[in-house]
Structure 1
Amino acid sequence: MAYTDHGYIAPEYALQGRFSIKSDVYGYGVLSLEIITSQRNSGCYQMNPFCNLIGHVWELWKEGRCMDIVDKSMDKTYSEEMVVRCIQIGLLCVQRYASDRPTMSKAVFMLGNADVVLPFPKQPAFIDESDYNGDIQPASNRTCSVNRVTISVVEAR
């Protein structure tokens, strides 16, 4: 499993130089999770095979234990419901594929409207980036080869 820390840079930009309106959303998601946890994304989490904050939060989210990552110095001075919502929005912003991420205006809307039902986040961009080819859409939506082999059709003149 390969992982290279790109900080706040969206994986499609860091690995392929592709920039979109969703690239900044990724950085915002990382920053949100760092604020909630008071930890840096580049920190190594011994109990977690992904060795970064995003991977650690994702694992806790899947286990239903995302409150375990909240900064202890906050001493329960927050609404647990709102913190879980902020973590979920942060995870939505760091989803692997840019096409799955909300726009920045949508993320702000979700933060300001607690009655809006949030979708369940998909896997973040932190696992084995050697198989990430920079597509901004999931494999199911692509029209290219699944094994990254190009086909050249040779025609006579």
Structure 2
Amino acid sequence: FTRFPARLGVNGEIQNRDETKVAVLPPENAGSRRDPRFGVAAHLNWWDRETVLQSLDLMRRAGIAAVRTGFIWNEIQPDLGDFSFERTDLIVDEAAKRGITVLPVVSGIPAAAIAGKARNPAMPLAREADRAAFLRALFGRYCAAVPVWEFDNEPNLNKYAPEEYGAT
């Protein structure tokens, strides 16, 4: 990786500083050997389809073996109704085509599932059966493709509860 510092100046006065990192990749036809010890954490679930595909292509070219990304309950099932697996299907299917294993971070809770004033994912739900139904659907859909799962990223932090976080 190479670092490129950048400074934004107005009339000779520095207004902002930033830095970007760039990796030099082998030519596309060079092939790459994947080392299972190397993976990346990426928020593929935040991006549009084209950005997901481009990112996965770059990961493949760089020899990345695994990608850690969010599988967010309140995005997959926002109102405890039907499930919307389009985004997670895209991530799992396209990663598999490139030989990349997905490590989902299962977190988030729909507002309808929150018990009383609880906001933290580690707090009780109104009905544990809602989480169980979600996990059954998620595992049933991806168990063959996803060997490892992570649950509730940093559940001790309240930053994943927007109402509580915004009130501080």
> Could you state the TM-score of these two structures normalised by the residue count of structure 1?
0.25
More RCO (CA 8 Å, sep 6+): 1
* Higher fraction of strand: 2
Greater C-alpha radius of gyration: 2
> Could you state the TM-score of these two structures normalised by the residue count of structure 2?
0.24
